[in-house]
Amino acid sequence: MRGRILVADDEPLIRRVLADALAAEGHEVETAESGGTALARLREADFDVAFADIRMPELSGLDLLARVREAGLDTQIILMTGHTTLANAIEAMKRGAYDYLTKPFDLVEVRALAQRALEVRRLTHDLARLKREIGERDELIVGQGPAMQEIYKVIGRVAETDATVLIQGESGTGKELIAKVIHHHSPGWRGPFVAVNCSAIPRELLESELFGHERGAFTGAVERRCGKFEQAEGGTLFLDEVGDISPLVQPKLLRFLETGEFRRVGGTNSRTVDVRVISATNKNLQEEVRAGRFRDDLLYRLNVVSLRLPPLRERKEDIPLLVEHFLQRKTRTKRIGPGTTEVLTNYDWPGNVRELEHVIEGAIALAHSDVIEPKDLWMNVSLHRQSVEEKPENAPGSIEPESLEEVERRHIEKILRANNWNRAKSAQILGITAKTLYLKIKRYKLIEPSNGQ
């Protein structure tokens, strides 16, 4: 492991010997001839490790250590002394030194000590990042109902293993968020989390995107390129919309899952990487298998552990919690008014949590006071309120309840009309992707009116 190291000593020979020995190991090394100069450099630049003599002009090594800690710097400090006493050793460790060296020192020991200090600093940064990222991700998973409690249990069981996980659920339910939480709680949390949206990459380019390619493998391949599997080395590769992987790429993904090996496009040598695969889909892959569009053996490999995220309409008890969560994230001044929670809870949320978040953001912007009223909600909710108001069962003129699909069809059509059939804007309001909206338009046979209408 290479790092950036500062050597501070008032003896030129000591500085040169240490700097040469550490630079020979590949480290980037700077020197300082006094404690004051060393402190200035540590404040100006990010050093991983600093070797500092206890006796120096301007600032002693112990005083330098104290100033570094007061400044909140996390550089690992190794103190050097030619007069080791018990008092010096105890004082150095009390003030937060990583270790201390006694002159004359063994350069083998110096190199080993530098490596250990670098590892400690890396672990410290990794732990800080882990806590920060887990905190960010975990706080976004909001829900206390039975459905989410089951999700939490599965995450807890699977996170500490390296099992392949298939997350199933509708668009907007938070599949990538769940995948990130599994990663951050897994043994490979130090490694990267690399996400690939398989539906957003042209089929002819997906193999290269996943496995990389060699120079000249195809037109435009002017240089060698590492794929997502190599980029995710030691961590997690998240394959979103895995059901859209083309039949030509499926056997190559299956080979990796079975053997851990793959080949770059145009390459002849097999490569091995240590990567955990988590995939997600909003499709029914069993139906895709029956239709001949997805390999059954690949499904078995991906579906070692299955996790189904419920749509928001199946966990409406969590809607007030989610609303409060989004309000806390976006504003500290506004609150939900009487009747607004009821309107939000009665809505079926075809775009799921993503749509709810967008509606709350819009309501915060539209509300004229600190209280968000039903009239402040985006038009998709307002339009839908009429469809969820049911007449008493035996009331005159009552009609048969509509199917969920019919409600969704009419709702999507209203949003499209309200936005002059702007699909990108309509998809954003609905909280779904443009591709999902396209598929729903096709499914419900919605036709954009001509300009003359």
Structure tokens at 141: 């998973």
What is the topology classification, in CATH, of domain 313-389+402-443?
Helicase, Ruva Protein; domain 3 (1.10.8)
Confidence band for 447, pLDDT divided at 50, 70 and 90: confident
Q: Has residue 39 got a pLDDT over 70? A: yes
* Residue with tokens 């009419």, as numbered in its chain: 410
Q: For residue 215, what pLDDT is reported? A: 86
Q: For residue 126, what pLDDT is reported? A: 65
One-letter amino acid identity for 190?
A: R
Structure tokens at 6: 């500062």
One-letter amino acid identity for 160?
A: E
Question: Is there a contact between 431 and 356 (Cβ–Cβ < 8 Å)?
Answer: yes
Q: For residue 387, what pLDDT is reported? A: 39
Q: Has residue 395 got a pLDDT over 50? A: no
Confidence band for 147, pLDDT divided at 50, 70 and 90: confident
Question: How many other C-beta atoms lie within 10 A of the C-beta of residue 148?
Answer: 18
Task: Please state, in angstroms and rounded to a whole number, the distance separating the CA atoms of residues 214 and 194.
Answer: 21
| 3-state SS, residue 73 | coil
Q: For residue 132, what pLDDT is reported? A: 58
Q: Has residue 383 got a pLDDT over 70? A: no
| 3-state SS, residue 103 | coil
Structure tokens at 135: 């905190």
Closest CA to 428 of 330, 377, 362: 362
Classify residue 171 as left (phi > 0), alpha (psi -120 to 50) or beta: beta
Q: For residue 133, what pLDDT is reported? A: 57
Q: For residue 394, what pLDDT is reported? A: 43
One-letter amino acid identity for 266?
A: G
* Residue with tokens 């996400």, as numbered in its chain: 195
Q: For residue 146, what pLDDT is reported? A: 80
271-272 and 261-262 beta bridge pairing: antiparallel
Torsion over CA: 80, 85, 90, 91 (sign)? negative
| 3-state SS, residue 247 | coil
Distance, CA of 187 to chain centre: 16
Task: Please state, in angstroms and rounded to a whole number, the distance separating the CA atoms of residues 444 and 396.
Answer: 31
* Residue with tokens 């195809």, as numbered in its chain: 218
User: Exposed/middle/buried for 439, CB within 10 Å: 0-12, 13-18, 19+?
Assistant: middle
Closest CA to 75 of 22, 122, 11, 33: 122
Q: For residue 84, what pLDDT is reported? A: 55
What is the mean pLDDT of the segment spanning 273-291? 94
**Domain limits, the chain:** 4-125, 141-310, 313-389+402-443
What is the topology classification, in CATH, of domain 141-310?
Rossmann fold (3.40.50)
User: Exposed/middle/buried for 309, CB within 10 Å: 0-12, 13-18, 19+?
Assistant: buried
Quick: pLDDT tens for 317-368: 999 989 988 888 888 788 888 788 888 988 889 889 988 988 898 888 878 8
Structure tokens at 86: 């018990």
Is it true that 141-310 and 313-389+402-443 share their CATH fold?
A: no
Query: At 5, phi and psi to the nearest 5?
Result: -125, 140
Task: Please state, in angstroms and rounded to a whole number, the distance separating the CA atoms of residues 26 and 37.
Answer: 24
4-8 β-sheet, strand order = 28-32, 4-8, 49-53, 76-81, 99-102
Q: For residue 342, what pLDDT is reported? A: 87
Distance, CA of 160 to chain centre: 17
Closest CA to 58 of 98, 10, 100, 1: 10
Percent of the chain at pLDDT exceeding 90 = 38
| 3-state SS, residue 241 | coil
Q: Which residues are bridge partners to 271 per DSSP?
A: 262
One-letter amino acid identity for 336?
A: I
Question: How many other C-beta atoms lie within 10 A of the C-beta of residue 268?
Answer: 7
Question: Is there a contact between 384 and 398 (Cβ–Cβ < 8 Å)?
Answer: no
One-letter amino acid identity for 269?
A: N
| Secondary-structure class of domain 4-125 per CATH | alpha beta
What is the mean pLDDT of the segment spanning 201-209? 88
Q: For residue 165, what pLDDT is reported? A: 96
